[in-house]
Amino acid sequence: MPVSLIIGEKSLNLRTYDCPECGLSIDRDLNVSINLKKRVLIGEVSYGEYI
């Protein structure tokens, strides 16, 4: 389940994501690029869907 569904949508001015469960702090742009790459590599989405 996407984290946004668990803890709600975040304002775009918040530039880092801080995981309440594990304490990870990561730039949101970097995080979404990592997640998108994983989804493309497993064939869940196609590269062209986001361009």
pLDDT score recorded for residue 3 = 54
pLDDT score recorded for residue 31 = 87
Whole-angstrom CA distances from 28 to 19, 43, 47 are 11, 22, 20
Tally of structural domains, the chain: 1
Residues of the chain where predicted confidence (pLDDT) is lower than 70: 1-8, 47-51
pLDDT score recorded for residue 30 = 93
Q: Which structural domain range is residue 35 located in?
A: 3-50
Residue 9: which of 33, 28, 35 has the closest Cα? 28
pTM over 0.75: no
